[in-house]
Amino acid sequence: MSFVPNQLFNPSGNDDVQARTIIKWNTTWLFNLNNTKYWRAKSLYTIMIWNFWIPEKVSWLGEDSVCYQKDLSDEERRAYDGILSFLIFLDSIQTVNLPNFSDYITAPEVSLLLAIQTYQEAIHSQSYATILESVVDSGKRDQIYYFWRDNEILLERNKFIGQIYQDFIDNPSDDNFFRWLIWNFLLEWLYFYNGFAFFDTLADQQKMKATDRMINYIRRDELTHVTMFTNILHEIKKEFPEMWNEKIIYDMFSEAVEQEIKRSQFILGNKIIWINDKTTETYTKRLANNRLAMIGLKPLFPDEVKENPYKHLERLQDNNMDKSNFFESTVTNYTQSSSMKGSRDF
């Protein structure tokens, strides 16, 4: 069966929970959270709703403005600008991409999660705008927004991401959908985290602490997004095993790791305390191994990566958050983290 977008109104649909599949099902599109097949989606929905926040509630960005001008080195300031530019792109393209993706999800309870994620990605874009307005001089803001446009390394990466999403829109085949799904997983699970580690490293040195606080709220949202895409992948493997293609997964992971190392080393360089080309490579490969384990696959770099090179970040963890989870592992929440521990399937 080929992919076709969902009908907006489908009175002849079948809402039988036992027969429902996560894609390629004939549903009425009635959102009934008391009648769901993927019951963990309902739990995740509650967590995502409770995670509501707005950037205006994050205080002290004015102090970051002073720090940005007086306390950051030239290398730190360049990295701050470049990472924000890339994160702005990621959340912008996700805000536009997710409604297209949702058009092919046929479990209403999962589609609700994608609607919340779309809203959260828009909040993240607002957050970056708030950071720039509060921290960076007005004459420099457009340079940061479009830093990727004038740099060959960043432009190549952004084009690659955009093309994978566009390929499915132009040709909605099973393979293109699977690539689209894997790339959503990689974008949420790999591409943000070298940037997050940089902001955490600054905060560990008592620099740009308000920016890092904003980033922590964004990361908390991203971890719920990752949980959702991990679960979608498990359901696809179970319900549509003919679509599951490990060669595609490993090829895409290899490409993503190579690009992320190249991009992050270009932005971060070797003149930031605790961060250098080696730690960037090690951290990225370690992330890839962890992400593959979450979908039941063997590591891509089994003999190269063992320890987290950013041990210094552990001291930043909130006392209410699970140490093993905060920086990279599973969805966490300041009040409800226990409800998601160990979750693999919806």
| Residues with catalytic function | 128
Helix (H, G, I), strand (E, B) or coil at 295: coil
Q: How far apart are CA 322 and CA 332, in angstroms?
A: 8
Interacting residues of 41 by C-beta distance below 8 A, sequence separation 6+ = 107, 109, 110, 112, 113, 228, 231, 346
Cα angle: 43, vertex 233, 10; to 5 degrees? 70
Q: How many CA atoms lie within 13 A of 45 on its CB side?
A: 19
Provide the 10 A C-beta neighbour count for residue 155.
Answer: 13
Under 8 Å between Cβ of 184 and 32? no
Contact 238/168 with Cβ under 8 angstroms? no
3-class DSSP assignment, residue 272: strand
Q: Are 228 and 44 in contact (CB under 8 A)?
A: yes
Q: Tell me the C-alpha distance between 212 and 210, whole Å.
A: 5
C-alpha to C-alpha distances, 146 to 65, 82, 134, 159, nearest whole angstrom:
21, 10, 18, 14
- Helix or strand or coil: residue 105? strand
CA dihedral for 304, 307, 312, 313, sign (positive or negative): positive
